[in-house]
Amino acid sequence: MKDFKYCIWYTPGPKHPWNYFTNKFIPHLSIKTGLTMSQAYHLFSIIKKQDIEIELDNLMCSENEGFNALYYTIKDKNIKPQWWPKNPHISFLYKYNEKITGYEIRYLYTKMNYKKGALKYFHIVKCTGHYSTWKIILSK
């Protein structure tokens, strides 16, 4: 099982419609993954809290060491914070050792009509083990 270690996530608010389209995790943009605890706390401390409006673009699938993800890429913004990741995307579905099905792709594509939203909250998340056990360590 892929170990993402400590990660910094940027998420919409708890009442945003995107929250209803995941398989029991917060939809998020990963700012940085694979961090040690001290690296995560350092990066978290220098990120300034702000809301950033984004628009979803292309629906994509990926596979990495048996970890499968379904996500939307984010339309490119002209003005980005210094910490903005390369290839930003919002994750919606995770599976282990099982491909994302055509049905799952069509469902998200046709039912999720909310392509714009504001990212509001930053989290340090311990992403070790099964994604259903990942824990938020700190939020702002």
Residue 97: give the domain boundaries.
5-139
* Model confidence at 108: pLDDT above 90: yes
Confidence bin at 80 (pLDDT 50/70/90): confident
Which uninterrupted H or E stretch holds 43?
helix 37-46
Confidence bin at 97 (pLDDT 50/70/90): very high
Contact between 53 and 64 under an 8 Å Cβ cutoff? The reply is no
Contact between 18 and 12 under an 8 Å Cβ cutoff? The reply is yes
CATH number of the domain enclosing 72: 3.90.1140.10
Q: What's the total number of domains in the chain?
A: 1
Instruction: Please compute the mean of the pLDDT values over residues 39-53 and round it to a whole number.
Output: 94
* Model confidence at 79: pLDDT above 90: no
Model confidence pLDDT, tens digit, residues 23-40: 889 999 999 999 999 999
Neighbouring C-alpha atoms within 13 Å toward the C-beta of 43? 24
